[in-house]
A and B are shown apart, each in its own frame.
Chain A
Amino acid sequence: MKKLSEMKQGETAIVSSVNGDARYIGRITSIGLTPGCKVSIIKNEKNRPLIVFARDTMIALNHKESSNIEVEEARG
């Protein structure tokens, strides 16, 4: 189990859980990052927004907040 914010550019992961307050969980759910969702990391630089591709959409996430998303590493 890893945090989404620890994944490197070019890697792929499957979301396993989302933590945080109700509002954050609600928002993350409504943009599609639910458990089981495949996420490709497009860009991950320190202290910069994390850019991921999931459910047909390019999404920019706050770097700190994305440590609330736990993922399982995946191939391809």
Chain B
Amino acid sequence: MTAKNEIVIALLGQPNSGKSTLFNGLTGLRQHVGNWPGKTVEKKEGSFTHGDKKYIVADLPGTYSLSANSDEEIITRDYIASGKADVVCILADSSQLERSLYMLSDFAGIEVPCFLLLNMSDVAKDQGKDINAKEMSDKLGIPVVLFSAPNVKKYDAFYEALETAVANKTVLNTSSLEQKYKDIPDYSEIRNIIGDYKDGNRTGMWLAIKTLEGDLPVTAKVKAELGNEKTAELSSVLDRCEKGIVKAGECKFAWIDELTAGSVKKEKKAAGLGKFDRLITHRIWGKPVVVLTILLERTDISIPLKTAVWKIRILDLEMKR
């Protein structure tokens, strides 16, 4: 909440999950673009009014996880840890559901009201996927919305989920995930060493799994907080545990599989490359086609003409094949 009683929403999702489309759809021209302090990472903030409330939206950098491998990831997770956001909107791409839910599983254990937006649900539907959002919502304890960001006229479900998350302070249910973590002996030890310690909105579970993953900033923070004796204990666990991130990843994806198992029905379709995919990944034609696209982008030819040239080119190439 800002000083002016505005509610702050953070958009969290992997690259290409549709954060920016949603951001633009919500805020229109009421945007402010700058940099995150001291970093060359773009910072986008905007605002909108719904009902009688004013909302501030922060479009966080797209990252694959909440680890500390890049500036973007550090900015994203520090922003969420700062508690500036009243509610986090987590986006996942329904057309690549299992993989894109990794962000949700990586977020699990941070106690901030949140809701899940299953974006590109229209594409998922075309793939023959039937997602039961209600059932997922019951399992997760947060609102889950099937969504399509470009369709601005159908944002009602988004606003409804947002209001529910803010009013009921819906926090993600992590008990079944923690159950899986506990099967990793090293996790249980680390969790015991950490004990009751919490870092703001980051729970002992989140700190423990990040420590197991070998996350340096989190480990340093945890060590600074614990006494010397416990720090030594922690170091000895970490010294002998290898590839903690893989073990943690297995748990997260097992949890995701469980979440989608009953709630997502799929028609069996063999995965393959489309016509265009085959063209741009072609051994000989791939590179020329990509270069051509970029060159056309740089010319002053108007867009409809460009599209036409494009189509002719593709036809041409296909005939040559």
Contact = CB atoms under 8 A, between A and B. Distances in A.
Given A34-B253, A37-B253, A29 B246 contact: yes
Given A22-B214, A30-B64, A56 B98 contact: yes
Contacts of A25: 243, 245-246
B96 A56 contact: yes
Interface residues of B, number: 27
Interface in A25-54: 25-27, 29-32, 34-37, 40, 42-43, 45, 48-49, 51, 53-54
A42 B271 contact: yes
A29 B102 CA distance: 9
Nearest to B67: A26
A32 B69 contact: no
A55 B98 contact: yes
| Size category, A interface | 20 to 34
A10 B197 CA distance: 50
Given A29-B249, A43-B273, 13 more contacts: A22-B214, A26-B69, A26-B213, A30-B65, A34-B253, A40-B271, A42-B272, A51-B273, A51-B281, A55-B99, A56-B99, A57-B98, A58-B271
Interface of B: 64-65, 67, 69, 95-100, 102, 106, 213-214, 243, 245-246, 248-250, 253, 271-273, 277, 281, 283
Contacts of A34: 246, 249-250, 253
Main secondary structure of the interface of A (DSSP, over half): mixed
B30 to A, nearest CB: 33
A35 B246 contact: yes
A4 B271 CA distance: 18
Nearest to A51: B281
A26 B65 contact: yes
The 3 closest A-B pairs by CB, nearest first: A29-B249, A55-B98, A53-B271
